[in-house]
Chains A and B, each alone.
Chain A
Amino acid sequence: MNMKVNIAGVEWKNPVTVASGTFGSGEEFSEFVDLNRLGAVTTKGVANVPWSGNPTPRVAEVYGGMMNAVGLQNPGIDVFCRRDIPFLRKYDTKIIVNVCGRSTEDYCEVVERLAEEDVDMLEINISCPNVKEGGIAFGQNPKAAEDITKAVKKYARQPVIMKLSPNVTSIAEMAKAVEAGGADAVSLINTITGMKIDINRKTFVLANRTGGVSGPAVHPIAVRMVYEAANAVRVPIIGMGGISTAEDAIEMILAGASAVSVGTANFHNPAVTLEIIDGIERYMEQQGFDSVEAMTGIVK
């Protein structure tokens, strides 16, 4: 039996990575998780310059999930390259760098800078709902999504994963647009825009008013979207949204994902990724699948 997956030419030892923004650059979680066991580590979004992010409160718990409006706080690409890449390179895992920006030029600057660096894949976040200027502006319009994919691809040396927003009418159309722009893979879903009101204080719970909903509550929506995207494009899909058990991950794979990311569940149990990897392996053994690929998208 073989847990390896090949995502756009990059071989991961298993199909499990962590969702951007929930795992930092791995250092804090490395006390709880042997990073060598992960298929890949996907890092927190990084921009060309440092971003301070949103005011607090930045997170809230909701039934079966959470909301966040961290606002892409990040130390900027210089510190990231100097500190975080060397840290992750000590481990036998793939490095996926998530990139954010406010303009096409911002994204391209980061991607160009990373071309020189020893990282394996780039994930371009065009779907952050928590930052006005950036991200989502590209993620809700197929033409804009295609254009930014093309622009980024010009500078990229590593395979490019375009990260899609669920806050759209047709996820299939968005997936096709980034595929047409040259994306090597797509990942989805980013968080779904939500709102929570404190009825005692009679105001918004999050300082940003709205925030992105994630966690088990969004899982069925994510499975549906992965299914639709997988049936619309040929490039591999990295599925995420509410995965907290091996069963959730397997569902996503059967719907069409070639690999999966675990996000919010890391907050409930920092070692959950290891349980998910072991659980997928057990399922494959029991069900007689000899590769992850053989399971991908078989539910039609």
Chain B
Amino acid sequence: MTRKREDAEILSQERIAKDIYSMWIRTEAAETAQPGQFISMYTNDGSKLLPRPISICETDREAGSLRVVYRVTGKNTGTEIFSQMKAGDTIPVIGPLGNGFPYERAEGKRVFLMGGGIGVPPVLELAKRMKCDRKQIVVGYRDEETFLRDEFEQNGEVYISTEDGSVGTKGNVMDAIRENALEADIIYACGPTPMLRAIKKYAEENGIECYISLEERMACGIGACLACVCQSKEKDEHSNVHNKRICKDGPVFLSTEVEI
């Protein structure tokens, strides 16, 4: 018995784009957190019981703090409650959870770090930690609200796509790669399933090592309830069927391990 749900202190809360918030919290999770891992965030509202899995966007180990960037998905949601909290409040969290991106594998290679929509935030900590030959950060947004862009620009070459074409390439991250004729030896990606499906296909067709971070509804967040499974190519050792738990065995998987 070594872990617990803790009440993390909110150090700052800021709206950084329409419906997008950035929160720094002081938490024990900061000490070991890896890019691609997530934390479970809970409301104090008893009518909303389940955790909200949110990726680690940045860590400051010395200060014992970490940053999450999240979207308020609608009215009366848990994320709306989070957005109304202020510095000094406490928020129940568990973390870090899951397995992060194996970023050491990028050393000496040309890399794509790809994020789409609310899959953009974890790419920041990944970009900060990664040592590689060519760091190509390819991020996709809906419109001109290109949150975290300045921070990406301090950490690599940045290519942007927007659905409405207001910034960068019109379309998605794959369109941005094509338009800029980019190439990579290894790919790390987080975003909506259709985007990941396209990246997985591209990587496999071109024989590129590719890590993708998957998303699914969760209940426990720690691997016990089997709510959050995805299909695995091989029979999984733990489940003894073709299912892997995204919260525990993922959320980051080698693209060839899973069927999406």
Contact = CB atoms under 8 A, between A and B. Distances in A.
A32 B4 CA distance: 5
Interface in B13-51: 42, 46-51
A57 B226 contact: no
Interface in B219-250: 219-230, 238-243, 248
A269 B5 contact: yes
Contacts of A116: none
Contact of B228 (A21, A56, A264): A56
Contact of B216 (A57, A267, A270): A57
Contacts of B223: 24, 28
Given A22-B220, A52-B242, A268-B49, A58 B3 contact: no
Contacts of A73: 226, 229, 239, 241, 243
A263 to B, nearest CB: 10
Interface residues of B, number: 36
B2 interface: yes
A112 to B, nearest CB: 20
A233 interface: no
A106 B250 CA distance: 33
A29 B241 contact: no
Q: Which of A22, A51, A76, A267 has the most CB of B within 10 A?
A: A267
B4 A24 contact: no
Given A22-B225, A61-B48, A267 B241 contact: no
Chain A binding surface SS class: loop
A56 B4 CA distance: 28
A68 interface: yes
Interface of B: 1-5, 42, 46-51, 92, 94, 216-230, 238-243, 248
Interface of A: 21-24, 28-34, 44, 50-53, 56-61, 63-66, 68, 70, 73, 75-76, 79, 215-216, 244, 264-271
11 contacts: A22-B224, A32-B1, A51-B241, A52-B242, A56-B230, A57-B217, A58-B227, A66-B49, A79-B240, A216-B49, A269-B92
User: Which 4 A/B pairs are nearest by Cβ-Cβ distance?
Assistant: A75-B240, A24-B224, A59-B227, A28-B224
